[in-house]
Structure 1
Amino acid sequence: MNRKNKELLSVENLKQYFPIKGGIFGRTVNNVKAVDDVSFTVYEGETVSIVGESGCGKSTTGRAILRLDTPTSGKVEFDGVDLVSLNKKQMRKMRKDMQIIFQDPYASLNPRQTVRQILNEAMEIQNVVPKSDRDDRIAELMKTVGLQPFQADRFPHEFSGGQRQRIGIARALSVDPKLIICDEAVSALDVSIQAQVLNLLQRFQREMNLTYLFISHDLGVVRHISDRIIVMYLGKIVEIGDKESIFENPQHPYTKALLSAIPVPDPEIKKERILLQGDIPSPIDPPTGCRFHTRCPFATDKCKEELPVLESLSHMTEGHEAACHYAKEIETGEHKPTKDITKVR
């Protein structure tokens, strides 16, 4: 990825709260703070991955960007247009350039429609292909994703999981988008099929200059496809940087724990895994200060009271930022663990 490429997507102070109703009158008594003050940019032609445990706010961030959920506050600017300020009609036009591939390739396809109807519907809504040319376009899309044109007259249940995901990709490509959000797009597939779909996505990126926001919990997949990586925990970004710097020189204790869980294919290699203690706190009432302090082996009173900000330290690669009060001291060994670190082989 060339950082000289233009900025395609800019997310500033994005918040996505879901109200909790209670009482006789159904008033809002609290909020689920799914995404809480998140900011990042995505450049044209790159792949930015968002990683973290289930419930960290990855998918909600993607949905908020596309306005599938209306953001509580913040700014989402795509190709120079502020998406949050658009009405439904204006947003529908913008969705031509912003598509999504969902996690479940079966649930995201209408079981009552053939593949031809599914692909035709997308082109009709966005009016991107004349009606007389749509059958040829559908045949071309089917070939592009590795399926046969005659299969377009079949229903989704007549395909395997990997084939259904290819149909989801074809639907996203049918309107010639600039940005595709891949929400756990390969997590439901077998490993061999995952590789095929990932290679397909990378080929399309090269040929069509696509930009991806790739949401996943599988760090092995993320390492294969990403240019930059965003690590989220409980609705906040705790680390962001280039793929190489995140994997080779992680700074946040949470990132280190995630990376330690990546399986090694060689049984002869013994690898230590860091086991985090305790459960993920509730996003309804997140901890004060650093949200990771309840599970962090390096936490102090400062971590409980002060919220760390994303910052780049002198020993980190340019563009690599971490939200940890003691990132540098932990790296140099000056800051010791405040409780035992559980490690297993």
Structure 2
Amino acid sequence: MAKRELLKVEGLKQYFPIKGGMLGRTVNHVKAVDDISFEVYEGETVSIVGESGCGKSTTGRAILRLEEPTEGKVTFNNVELTSISKRDMRRQRKDLQIIFQDPYASINPRQTVSDILNEAMTIQNSVPPKKRRQRIIELLETVGLNEYQADRYPHEFSGGQRQRIGIARALAVDPKLIICDEAVSALDVSIQAQVLNLLEELQDEFNLTYLFISHDLGVVRHISDRVIVMYLGKIVEIGDTNSIFENPKHPYTNALLSAIPVPDPLHVNTHIGLKGDVPSPIDPPMGCRFHTRCPFAQAKCSVDEPLLAVHDGMTDGHKAACHFVKEIEQGEIKPKDYSTEIMIG
């Protein structure tokens, strides 16, 4: 049975204006997200990964219209979000929720947990007023908290407990899609595992769909069905989790995966060191945006932008934006200025 497409992003761009001069005119733009397209199917977890500044969090915010997209189309549950009014968008947010990165900053410290959860239900009118207290207790039990904690304030909770409150707030309106924006990166490793397990349990129980934004590849491998790799506002590779981790095709994806630490003192890990810094999103390079740091770059890479496409030997749905996938894999193009460090332990 074919999966139902829940979210479709087409040609999404998010440019932020840079003001300058005495009159404060727009002199340039930060091209945070620059023409990306992908789909998310019902019941799956799609992760977006990449270095800081690659545009992954901005993508999540643009989908929700927390930042108005510069260009492109976002279709959710057969409704084109980018063409509806702000009032209609507010109604759609019942089905589209977000869990923020910082469990300290994303919760109002002046509200009790009960107030926080009640506010979400009041705004969306998702539960009758008389039943909201019972619903709050159910939500707390669902995320592993207790009834007596409903009337406590956020400062009385640990970071992991606050993130559970954030998850309960997202669940309060019975959403279909939850965007997890670095939802576990601010937590201790042991607490991360608990929250990730909770997210998986909730997905099974409520048939949730996740767009999981993270820089932690270990977490992504654990939770994802499919993975999107972004670099400087562009998607450079997309595929199912096994394809990305076991058979990566883009040089940038290979470099990212080589940086995953392995907790084994006898393991010999070849770390691919990339030259230089990430270029500025204000003035990104012509052609392939990765060519300034890519050890396999050829003259064509600095002129022609590669399309995100299926190449020989790639499974269905696995795509990479590289001109020379086949040549690199077969060793026809040798790396140049290639810094390789052998790291033990």
The bucket for the TM-score relative to the shorter chain is: over 0.9
How far has the Cα of 1:272 moved from its partner?
A: 0.9
How far has the Cα of 1:314 moved from its partner?
A: 2.1
CA distance in 2, matches of 1:40, 1:212: 14
CA distance in 2, matches of 1:250, 1:341: 19
Q: Give secondary structure in 2 for the equivalent of 1:344.
A: strand
User: Are 2:146 and 1:148 aligned?
Assistant: yes
How far has the Cα of 1:87 moved from its partner?
A: 1.1
User: Are 2:186 and 1:213 aligned?
Assistant: no
Matches within 5 A, 1:34-53: 34-53=32-51
Report the equivalent of 2:310: 312
CA distance in 1, matches of 2:297, 2:336: 6
Letter in structure 2 aligned against 1:166: R
Report the equivalent of 1:158: 156
How far has the Cα of 1:342 moved from its partner?
A: 2.6
Letter in structure 2 aligned against 1:178: K
User: Are 2:84 and 1:86 aligned?
Assistant: yes
Q: Which runs of 5+ in 1 are unaligned?
A: none
Report the equivalent of 2:59: 61
How far has the Cα of 1:332 moved from its partner?
A: 1.1
Letter in structure 1 aligned against 2:106: S
User: Are 2:183 and 1:194 aligned?
Assistant: no
The alignment-based identity, stated in percent, is 74
Question: Residue 230 of structure 2: which of 218, 232, 235 is its match?
Answer: 232
CA distance in 2, matches of 1:119, 1:10: 29
CA distance in 2, matches of 1:299, 1:220: 28
Report the equivalent of 1:6: 4
User: Are 2:16 and 1:18 aligned?
Assistant: yes
Deviations 1:306-340 (A, max 9, x none): 10010101201111000001111111111111323
CA distance in 2, matches of 1:344, 1:186: 30
Question: Residue 336 of structure 1: which of 329, 334, 337 is its match?
Answer: 334
Q: Give secondary structure in 1 for the equivalent of 2:266.
A: coil
Structure 2 contact 270–340 (Cα < 8 Å) conserved: no
Deviations 1:1-57 (A, max 9, x none): x7x110000000000000001111111100000000000000000000000000000
CA distance in 2, matches of 1:342, 1:285: 28
CA distance in 2, matches of 1:240, 1:93: 31
CA distance in 2, matches of 1:258, 1:340: 15
Matches within 5 A, 1:88-167: 88-167=86-165
What is the aligned length? 343
CA distance in 2, matches of 1:98, 1:290: 33
How far has the Cα of 1:344 moved from its partner?
A: 3.1
Report the equivalent of 1:324: 322
Structure 2 contact 120–169 (Cα < 8 Å) conserved: yes
TM-score, structure 1 normalization: 0.98
CA distance in 2, matches of 1:28, 1:67: 22
Report the equivalent of 2:253: 255
Structure 2 contact 273–338 (Cα < 8 Å) conserved: no
Structure 1 contact 300–338 (Cα < 8 Å) conserved: no
Structure 2 contact 268–342 (Cα < 8 Å) conserved: no
Structure 1 contact 57–234 (Cα < 8 Å) conserved: yes
Structure 1 contact 275–344 (Cα < 8 Å) conserved: no
Structure 2 contact 63–74 (Cα < 8 Å) conserved: yes
CA distance in 2, matches of 1:70, 1:189: 30
How far has the Cα of 1:300 moved from its partner?
A: 1.2
CA RMSD of aligned residues (A): 0.8
CA distance in 2, matches of 1:126, 1:241: 35
TM-score, structure 2 normalization: 0.98
Q: Give secondary structure in 2 for the equivalent of 1:41.
A: strand
CA distance in 2, matches of 1:314, 1:302: 20
Runs of 4+ in 1 over 3 A off after TM superposition: none
CA distance in 2, matches of 1:343, 1:73: 41
User: Are 2:241 and 1:243 aligned?
Assistant: yes
Q: Which runs of 5+ in 2 are unaligned?
A: none
Q: Give secondary structure in 2 for the equivalent of 1:257.
A: helix
Letter in structure 2 aligned against 1:279: D
Letter in structure 2 aligned against 1:122: A
Q: Give secondary structure in 1 for the equivalent of 2:133.
A: helix
Structure 2 contact 227–238 (Cα < 8 Å) conserved: yes
Deviations 1:191-220 (A, max 9, x none): 110010000000111111100000000000
CA distance in 2, matches of 1:237, 1:291: 10
CA distance in 2, matches of 1:135, 1:150: 12
Q: Give secondary structure in 2 for the equivalent of 1:205.
A: helix
Structure 1 contact 179–211 (Cα < 8 Å) conserved: yes
CA distance in 1, matches of 2:210, 2:65: 17
How far has the Cα of 1:88 moved from its partner?
A: 1.1
CA distance in 1, matches of 2:50, 2:28: 24
